[in-house]
Structure 1
Amino acid sequence: MIKLSKLLKSIEVVKSFNEKEMDIKGISYNSKEVKEGYLFVCIKGYKTDGHKYIPQAIKNGAKGIIVEDVQDIPEIPQFQVKDSRKALSALSARFYGYPSKDMKVIGITGTNGKTSTSFLTNTILESHRLKTGLIGTIMVKYGSYLKPSILTTPESLDLQNYFYQMRKENISHTVMEVSSSALELNRVADVDYDIVALNNISREHIDVHGSFDEYFKIKSSLIKNIKEDGWAILNLDCPYSSSLINKTRGNVLTYGIKDKNGYLSIRDLDLSTGRAKFTVELSKFLTVGKTEYKHQKFRIELSVPGYHSVYNSLVAVSIGLLCQVPISTIQEALGSFTGVERRFQFIYDEDFKIIDDHFANSGNIDVTMETLSLMDYKNIHLVYAIRGNRGIVTNSENAETIAKWIKKLGMKGIIATKSSSHVTEKDKVSDEELRVFKEVMDREGITVYLYDKLPHAIDHALANVSSGDIILLAGCQGMDYGAQITLEKLYKLRPDLNKERLLEPLKSRIAGIA
């Protein structure tokens, strides 16, 4: 509970009406969740306008409202602001007592790799026996609490509540994914970050943000706005990430695989099995607190596959060093980490391999296919779930990138699906999205085996796979159920397999299980 006058000091009020002092017991942006003594914040969303639900909020007990558009309601205090989302963030942080200031908060953004990097980092910190929180695409987790995520980055009120709950649990370090939408919509405007990382930038969410320039501007704001004693971790191999070296107020730590001029670089990369082994070279003197890292080398052997995992692990190593985790602990943690669901995840690895991958955009596709190019195999059977509700730009670019790699790797064609059997209305593939995909494949002379339903596409791959081959289950929402369908079908075809062992990869899944 907090006095309204104290709460309002956190925002800029344009005009106030019927103002009076009172105790505020809670804040809500959903009228259904309003209780007696709450402050209701009217958010203008993509699909609806919170101002429409003011009567319901008042009926449920709202004692004051935050509006962008002044309402003719004389019986309740209302406060007009320019941006109610920005106000919601500031009010939420103030209501919960700025909880992110009481822990080390690590924000990870980028087009690709946010989820895997977050999990890798969390594993390193937990291995050092730190009490951690994790907020991201798959779940929110701290202490004994675990909840599947709806948004990559929660709405500001929910986010500040999570930090508040974490503070009560004595969480010392929180790792969170920071989406471009969260940055643009001010969900993270009042988070006190200690370390931030921009993994990479490629052409994703352009239809949402209007242009690539705007998308990069939004992403880069996380780096530019870090506090002076904070750290920004930047990828020298990504020109967009590296361009921010001199545009941040904080300290900068750089890394690269191809570019060897950063604090961290690698040598002797071996990806022959799909799982990387390499030497990390710390080439610049680094001081963090009372810990000094001089020029040194140390070996990393990853249990997770993928060329992109090398990049993700370098970010995690960087964060581990900045959190003063011993190098031996970092090595052990990375070696024991078994991966994140649907991030180049080996779900079957015996006579042939089945890999499940969140094949989201052209950048993601490039690193996934480059990893395959470094592996030993006979044939690749690519089962691709076309992206629904992402527009023609993303689908055209995805198709162009896939076509490029199909030719490079000498593949026989592509198995594609609309996944109409396993997506909601929100993620259905439109006629235009299907058209641009087929146009690219037809132009490049690539054979497409197109299936409306996901199980039928998987049947095609399993019917044609041979020893030494790779089946790649590739796609986002449309392929979420691909692993379960594939392994269950494989068991029916091969009842000699140990069912419990075969289905083991599905046990820890948060999503994609029917």
Structure 2
Amino acid sequence: MDMHTLINALTVEEIKEDKKVEITGLSYDSRKVESGHLFVCVKGFKVDGHEFARQAVKQGAVALVVENFVNDIEVPQIRVADSRIALAALADAFYGHPTKKLKIIGITATNGKTSTAFMTNAILENHGYKTGLMGTIVVKIGDYAEPSDLTTPESLDLHRFFKQMVDEDVTHATMEVSSSALELNRIGSVDFDIVTLNNISREHIDLHESFENYLEFKTSHIRKANKDQIAVLNLDDDYSAALVDHTEAKVVTIGVERQDADIRCTSLDLSTGRATFTVEIPEDLHVNGVHIPKQQFTINLATPGFHSVYNSMVSIGIGLLCGVSVETIQESLAEFVGVERRFEIIFEEDFKIIDDHFANSGNIDVTLGTLEKMDYRKLKLIYAIRGDRGVTVNKENAETIAKWASKLGFHEVIATRSISHVTEKDFVHDKEVAVFLKVMEEAGIQVELYDELPDAILDGLKQAEQDDIVLLAGCQGMDYGAKVALEQLQVLRPELDQDKLLQPLKKRVAGNA
């Protein structure tokens, strides 16, 4: 492709060494530059691509996109105000504007992006659409899938994936949109059809420096949506509800608590942990040429948890907006068994073991809110303290646990630093333990603290009795909790069907293959 044809996609401030060159590819990583590439010098949090410009030219780059001209380089340099915006625009143009040829659905939330994206994909796929999926776990293009490196890929990789989807006759693509992707413009030049925002709680403050910054980026794709797009917003979440009048997009609202939503959840039963409810649409909806008639129908979820109700409501809204029948939506959600470590029931005989990533205060609220609606005797909470996340996150998590302790009637927590089960970047520091213990002490909650994850889990399992729930709660260190717990049960309960006992682990291996 001729360079000048390609840079028509950019707002160019100045071109240095202007001459005609042919562009055979794009790159932002100097290690991946090949002969004929246009190299985009991206400024990151830790690394500045301008420092690798000479290396990129040495490897074959025939032109550079820069924010500041690099001295003593003889290839053309195109100066722009923001190289990340430029990278997205260039990628979109280079790959032939692929998102204009797809139905693109962007899923945003602090909690539940992955589950909602997988639910949505299941509904669309069962309808007969050929689908794409991008997120924390996998990049799926039709029948092909590969593990993900990032929740939302860099813009160049993102548009390349979309081009592959077009080539494979994919029609509908669902993607998770992270706050960092919004801040770093990874979704730049993506032509979304439907954007969603389910919930916002305090998370990733370390990356965005403040909750206010996080909120600004997290809501930006809704606020910037245009009249040709549809926004699915959750009226039960104050931050999501506040956007109803602050977007040009056509808005469709969902609600579980709020009964003035366009799509409502009624008659909710969570007594078993797996929800049954009625979806009620009280008035005909006409949204950007789509007609959804007034109606009501029953949903039976295979995935447990109160959060699954919210995730499914978003997915139901998307499905209806994409022309999926109610029958297909019902069947899809009845069959969809969920995503690993999202209120995953891994054992349910005389007592239950539930595995949940318990990442932040919002996630903790939803998880323990589900337990409040379930029938059980006692809760054994085994919590992996979050490492290298700072005092603030651990204090807020502890305060949220303490708030629920009185509601759920538990007075002790088994906690672990998971020393042998975390990497250096997730190591639990003394100050993080100290703030957790302080909040628990002030709340009158006894803590049994273990250095190692297996010791903590074994303690909880030995205490478990008929109709109890053992909750494996936490990120990083607790990622290994299910495996540890089920292997310990093999020893503690040899009378159990061993093959059936380990089935959840086998499903995980198969799902990640």
The TM-score, its normalising length taken from structure 1, stands at: 0.96
* 2:280 partner amino acid: E
Shift of the 231–291 alpha-carbon distance from structure 1 to 2, 3 Å rule, reads: closer
- What does residue 65 of structure 1 align with? 64
Runs of 4+ in 1 over 6 A off after TM superposition: 510-514
Q: Secondary structure at the match of 1:471?
A: strand
Match of 1:360 in 2: 359
Given that residues 194 and 229 in structure 2 are in contact (C-alpha distance below 8 angstroms), is that contact kept between their aligned partners in structure 1?
A: yes
Q: Determine the structure 1 residue equivalent to 2:444.
A: 445
Residues 1:500 and 2:499 aligned together: yes
CA offsets per residue over residues 285-323 of structure 1, 9 Å max, x none?
113577633321101111111111111111011001100
Amino acid at match of 1:9: N
1:315 corresponds to which residue?
314
For 1:170-319, list aligned pairs within 5 A: 170-287=169-286, 292-319=291-318
Taking the aligned partners of 1:433 and 1:68, their CA distance within structure 2 comes to: 40
- Residues 484 and 513 in structure 1, CA contact (< 8 A), matched pair in contact too: no
Matches within 5 A, 1:339-350: 339-350=338-349
Q: What percentage of residue pairs aligned between the two structures are identical?
A: 56
* d(CA) in 2 for partners of 1:40, 1:479: 41
Deviations 1:25-59 (A, max 9, x none): 11111111111111111222222222222232222
2:17 corresponds to: 18
For 1:9, the equivalent position in structure 2 comes to: 8
SS in 2 for 1:254: strand
Moved more, 53-62 or 275-284: 53-62
The count of aligned residue pairs is 513
Asked whether the equivalents of residues 18 and 76 of structure 1 are also in contact (C-alpha less than 8 Å), the reply is: yes
Q: Within 2, Cα distance between the matches of 1:290 and 1:326?
A: 17
Q: Which residue of 2 aligns with 1:400?
A: 399
Aligned residue in 2 for 1:460: 459
* Aligned CA distance change for structure 1 residues 372 and 93 (closer, same or farther; 3 Å): same
Q: 1:67: how far off?
A: 1.9
Cα deviation 1:378-407 (Å, max 9, x = unaligned): 211111111223222221111100111122
1:485 corresponds in structure 2 to: 484
1:432-483 CA distances to partner (integer Å, 9 max, x unpaired)? 3222212211221211111222222212212221221111111122221111
Partner Cα distance (2:502, 2:34) in 1: 45
In 2, the alpha carbon distance for the partners of 1:508 and 1:29 equals: 37
Question: Which one is further off, 36-45 or 395-404?
Answer: 36-45
Q: Distance in 1 between matches of 2:428 and 2:454?
A: 16
Structure 1 position 512, deviation (Å): 11
Query: How far apart are the structure 2 equivalents of 1:437 and 1:409?
Result: 19
Asked if the contact 2:106/2:196 (under 8 Å) is kept, the reply is yes
Cα distance 1:513–1:317, how it changes in 2: closer, same or farther (>3 A)? closer
Aligned to 1:324: 323
Deviation at 1:513, TM superposition (A): 9.0
Task: Quote the RMSD (CA, aligned, Å).
Answer: 1.8
TM-score of the aligned structures, taking structure 2 as reference length: 0.96
Question: Does residue 333 of structure 2 align to residue 334 of structure 1?
Answer: yes
Residue in 2 that maps onto 1:154? 153
Q: 1:513 to 1:256 in 2, by over 3 A?
A: closer
Alpha-carbon separation, structure 2, partners of 1:420 and 1:61: 46
**What secondary structure, in the 3-state scheme, does the structure 2 residue paired with 1:347 have?**
strand
Q: CA deviation at 1:332?
A: 0.9
Q: Is the 8 A contact 2:292 2:321 kept in 1?
A: no
Cα distance 1:126–1:513, how it changes in 2: closer, same or farther (>3 A)? closer
| SS of equivalent residue, structure 2 residue 93 | helix
CA distance in 2, matches of 1:79, 1:429: 46
Unaligned runs of 5+ in 2: none
What is aligned with 1:136?
135
Query: Quick check: 117-126 or 66-75, which moved more?
Result: 66-75
**CA separation in 2, counterparts of 1:499 and 1:47?**
48
Deviation per CA, 1:159-214, whole angstroms, max 9, x where unpaired? 11110111111110011110111001100021110001100111112232232222
Native 8 Å contact 2:412 2:445 kept in 1: yes
Measured in 1, the distance between the counterparts of 2:59 and 2:509 equals 34
Distance 1:431 1:17, change over 3 A: farther
Q: Which residue of structure 1 lines up, in the alignment, with residue 380 of structure 2? A: 381
Distance 1:379 1:25 in 2: 63
1:84 correspondence with 2:83: yes
Q: Which structure 1 residue ranges, 5 or more long, are not aligned?
A: none
1:81-133: per-residue Cα shift (whole Å, max 9, x none)? 22221111111111111111111000011111111111111111111011111
Distance across 2 between alignment mates of 1:102 and 1:45:
31
Between the aligned partners of 2:67 and 2:200, the Cα distance in structure 1 is 33
Name the stretch that deviates more: 301-310 or 74-83. 74-83
CA distance in 2, matches of 1:10, 1:62: 19
Matched, 1:167 2:166: yes
Aligned-partner SS, 1:421 = helix
Which residue is 1:476 aligned to?
Answer: 475
**Between 499-508 and 442-451, the greater mean CA deviation after superposition:** 499-508
For the residue of structure 1 that corresponds to 2:421, the secondary structure is: coil
| 3-state SS of 2:337 partner | coil
- Hey, what's the Cα distance between the residues in 1 that align with 2:452 and 2:511? 16
Q: Is the 8 Å Cα contact of residues 31 and 54 (structure 1) preserved in structure 2?
A: yes
